[in-house]
């Protein structure tokens, strides 16, 4: 499944469906008293993430072609 073929509106619809399904599945886990780790994807600042590197260009390796 390539996300590049979807329009922004299609992605919004898909996101809402997945969000609704996620809520339903979490409700099932809660009902069965099964613990799960909550995720806060949108509560954190991406610049504070360990995956974020403000100086990504520093990782570029230069090679001389011969």
pLDDT digits (tens, 9 = 90+) for 2-29: 556 778 888 899 999 999 999 999 999 9
pLDDT digits (tens, 9 = 90+) for 26-49: 999 999 999 998 877 766 666 666
Render the chain in DSSP notation, one character per residue.
Answer: --GGGS-HHHHHHHHHHHHHHHHHHHHHHHHTT-------TTTS-GGGSTT--TTGGGGPPP----
CB 49 within 8 A of CB 43: no
Domain boundaries, the chain: 8-42
pLDDT score of 52: 66
Burial class (CB in 10 A: 0-12, 13-18, 19+), 5: exposed
pLDDT score of 43: 67
């Amino acid at each position: 499944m390539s996300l590049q073929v979807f329009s922004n509106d299609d992605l919004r619809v898909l996101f809402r469906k997945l969000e609704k399904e996620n809520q339903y599945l979490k409700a099932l886990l809660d009902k069965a008293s099964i613990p799960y780790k909550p995720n806060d994807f949108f509560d954190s600042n991406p610049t504070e993430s360990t995956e974020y590197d403000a100086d990504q260009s520093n990782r570029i390796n230069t090679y001389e072609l011969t």
